[in-house]
Chain A
Amino acid sequence: MKTMRQMIWIIVMMAVVVFSATSASGQEITIALGSEPTTLDPQLREDGGERAVNDNVYETLMARTPDGKLKPGLVASEPKLLDPKTWEVKLRSGIQFHNGEPFNADAVVYSVKRIIDKKFNSEQISFFFTIVDAKKVDDLTVQIITDGPDPILLSRLYWMKMVPPVYSKDPKFAETPVGTGPYKFVRWNRGQNLVLEANPGYWGEAPAIKKVTYRFVSDAGTRLAGLMAGEFDIITNLLPEFTKKVPQAIHILGLEHPIIILNADAGPTKDARVRKALNLAVDKKALAEGLFEGFAQVAQGQLLSPSFFGFNKEVGPYPYDPNQAKALLKEAGAAGASIEIIGTAGRWLKDREMVEAVAGYWEAVGLKPKVRIFEFNEYLNRLFDRKTRADAIFVVSSNELMDADKSFSAYYKAGGVGSSNSDKDLAALIDSARTETDPAKRAALYHKAVKHAYDQAYFVWLLNIEDVYGVSKRLHWPGRVDAKMLVSEMRMK
């Protein structure tokens, strides 16, 4: 009798849970993130979980369209360059933070000074290190001063979230955020969930989704199960092999580029013919289809996506031509040469698989590739080793500023943290582009740099990976090239 009663109790409890799980009204969604925010202060950490939430709570002076074009955000019009080091921004009027603080020149000056303050020690400083000051001109006009000509300031401003000057000094600010965005903070149960609701006083178009709950699920299989069970509406980083099983798989060309850095200063790869052969030997299209089920595009012979500033339309991928590769290797006297390729496992999607596949292609043209997969820390030692560069190092570069400067300074330019060439001409092009404020001239400099590096085959450009999301049947969301999940762009079908 007693066990019977317990059974009934358990069944009732289950029913309640099932009911509560499916009773969410039509305008509420749940998003499963891989990691929980460590803070909700939008200026302090470099933290994907924090960003996913705060992108909806806070806004920036400049915004981007879903396909990546810069457009005014909290500014009323395109910022003007007064002199090479001074940008003037005019703000939209009548905007308030969720707590009623006005958004005005004081708020902008405060936000800029807060994030560049050495004592504040922001992890996001690598986005803003060129900014030295901000000055109020009038209530809706601010001047932003850089340490030299900074042509990518507007891209940088897309990453700087505007915070309320009074409330952000409150210790509670890091746990209960207040921004100007289309969603406002409701609650955060650490380890469990985080809830936002639509901001009724939003200055822009009212969002269609009224409430969003974030859940934190680190395991990809569990995220998938939650989507299949109808508990989640969006899951991030869906594995390509699962795309056929989910209600909708949204895929969009992302910011990540796997490449192989070739040592142009020593070893068999010193000869440009060998480097070209290493490119020609690899069937990039087969990698995209075999490893990523087609959820990746062949890289266009450059470390840039088509949406990035500096992308050179004239340059395309090296074709897959093993015969020409063999001929080039023979010509260079490198037939049968041994080439060491360094990689890591489990850090990036299919990292080890890509290295092994590339080594297979190299072997097929008669080379002797030596694959060395290291644990991430040891791998980084090799990647950053400035004294002895390995013949070939696999790396995945991600570029949130969507501008050539960051990736080129790190990998193309001689002396960059992951660069393996000492090409002074290329370095000079990248240096002059860094300070050229005329966009057309600047683009021309990058086009030249892209072509030059392509002709020298300093890298094996592999793929441009697509971001893949699993999405429930009821939700409509086109996705964004910058990997931001802006709930205001989602709606129910």
Chain B
Amino acid sequence: MGRYFLKRLWHGAIVIFGVTVLVFVVTRLVGDPVKVMLPLEATAEQRAAFERELGLDRPMTIQFVDFMMGLSRLDFGKSLWQHRPAMQIVFEKLPLTLELAILGIGLAFVLSIPLGILSALRPGGVSDRSTVFVSLIGLSIPQFWLGLLLIIVFAVQLKWLPTSGIDTPAHIILPTITMALPALARLVMIVRSSMIDELNQQYVKTCFAKGLPFYRVVGVHALRNAALPVVTLTGWELIRAVAGYSVVVETVFAWPGLGLTAIQAIEREDLILLQAIVFTVAILVVLINILMDVAYKIIDPRLKMG
């Protein structure tokens, strides 16, 4: 077990390193912050001076060595756009993104289990068909549109909730729902199908025949065996929430987390900040993957690690 995790950590470190280097190279090949950041009418001398100030006039190899030295101290340098240390910005924004991702995917996970079980108990029944129908809607709605729809209904028309921002606890309700719904739709379908599989197994019939109470058969024995794919998908949803959905949801709700900051950094060609964000997200993805492995082991101790 211990050796296995050391190996996973080592693989994770390679992934993070690879992603970071890739971002370094690609951003420098594609973008030129000097052109984008100065006013259009700026003269050639002003551009050259700005390039020197950013250190972008040095050979790429020297920039790379510099970059690696900084990386070892978790220091990516100052954001070109905000002129503050990039990691300081990341640490400021990260908790907001994690809060939204964990609440949203947590909500989806918690709701998906009873809904999925309910569907699986009577496949083809009314509750099953309505759950499947609603899930399909949830799967097909683009997330930014869902966010705007919720804003229009609950903030603009009903005026129950604020449209955007982070001032009060109520500000997190709509972004959380927007984050949760598409994930919930996918999770419900997985819970449903794996529960249907389990409930048709011989051991379930045996359990019932032995006179075990209904909630124990379904809620403990069957659910536990059905849990592996659900945990896999939940972890995957969490990764997507941090590394993908956050961009959309945060933009729609002006939620100043890492996703919104990433978009703004791309618009401004802020290579430094972008590197810090991608690096942090890569670490999160690796960590979530390792946590999922732990969860597998807890759910099914028979699983061999390695």
Contact = CB atoms under 8 A, between A and B. Distances in A.
Interface in A217-242: 217-219, 221-222, 225-226, 228-231
Contacts of B83: 38-39, 45
B43 interface: yes
Nearest to A409: B41
Contacts of B38: 123
Contact of A46 (B32, B39, B171): B39
Interface string B70-92: 00000000000111100000001
Interface string B28-68: 00111001101111111010000001000000000000000
Contacts of A39: 83
Contacts of B167: 192-193
B67 to A, nearest CB: 21
A231 B93 contact: no
Interface stretch (A15-23, A92-100, A319-327, A349-357): A15-23
Contacts of A36: 256
A143 B84 CA distance: 36
Contacts of A410: 40-41
B256 A191 contact: yes
A18 B41 contact: no
A192 B166 contact: yes
A217 B164 contact: yes
Interface string A100-129: 000000000000000000000101011000
Nearest to B145: A221
B159 A230 contact: yes
Interface residues of A, number: 49
A225 B155 contact: yes
Contacts of A123: 38
B151 interface: yes
A222 B145 CA distance: 11
A229 B156 contact: yes
B118 interface: no
A221 B38 CA distance: 28
A444 to B, nearest CB: 24
A18 B159 contact: yes
Interface stretch (B183-191, B246-254, B280-288): B246-254
A165 B143 CA distance: 51
Interface of B: 30-32, 35-36, 38-44, 46, 53, 81-84, 92-93, 96, 148, 151-152, 155-156, 159-171, 251-254, 256, 260, 263-264, 269
Nearest to A228: B156
B35 A380 contact: yes
A121 B46 CA distance: 11
A17 B162 contact: yes
A38 B254 contact: no
A167 interface: no
A236 to B, nearest CB: 14
Contacts of A25: none
Contact of B164 (A190, A225, A407): A225
A216 B163 contact: no
Interface of B (DSSP majority class): loop
A237 to B, nearest CB: 14
Interface string A380-418: 110110000000000101000000001101100000011
A377 B269 contact: yes
Interface string A189-202: 01111000000000
A191 B264 CA distance: 13
Contacts of A126: 39, 41-43, 46
B165 A17 contact: no
A137 interface: no
Interface in A8-39: 13-14, 16-18, 20-22, 35-36, 38-39
B31 A231 contact: no
Contact of A215 (B40, B151, B254): B254
Interface of A: 13-14, 16-18, 20-22, 35-36, 38-39, 45-46, 121, 123, 125-126, 190-193, 215-219, 221-222, 225-226, 228-231, 376-377, 380-381, 383-384, 395, 397, 406-407, 409-410, 417-418
A338 to B, nearest CB: 27
B214 to A, nearest CB: 22
A192 B53 contact: no
A423 B164 CA distance: 53
Nearest to B261: A191
Contacts of A46: 39
Contact of B254 (A190, A216, A383): A216
Nearest to B32: A377
B170 A13 contact: yes
- Give the interface centre of A38, A126, A219 by most chain B CB atoms within 10 Å: A219
A417 B256 contact: no
A406 B162 CA distance: 43
Contacts of B53: 121
Contacts of B163: 222, 225-226, 229, 231
A380 B31 CA distance: 11
Contact of B82 (A38, A219, A409, A418): A38
A225 B161 contact: no
Given A14-B160, A417-B44, 4 more contacts: A16-B170, A46-B39, A225-B163, A407-B41
Contacts of A192: 165-167, 256
B252 A191 contact: no
B264 A418 contact: no
B89 to A, nearest CB: 9
A452 to B, nearest CB: 21
The 6 closest A-B pairs by CB, nearest first: A191-B256, A17-B170, A410-B41, A217-B254, A226-B163, A225-B163
A395 B40 contact: yes
A274 B82 CA distance: 46
A221 B252 contact: yes
28 contacts: A16-B170, A20-B168, A35-B264, A38-B81, A38-B84, A39-B83, A126-B41, A126-B46, A190-B92, A191-B256, A192-B256, A215-B254, A218-B260, A221-B148, A222-B151, A222-B163, A222-B252, A222-B253, A225-B151, A225-B152, A225-B156, A226-B163, A231-B162, A377-B30, A377-B35, A407-B41, A410-B40, A410-B41
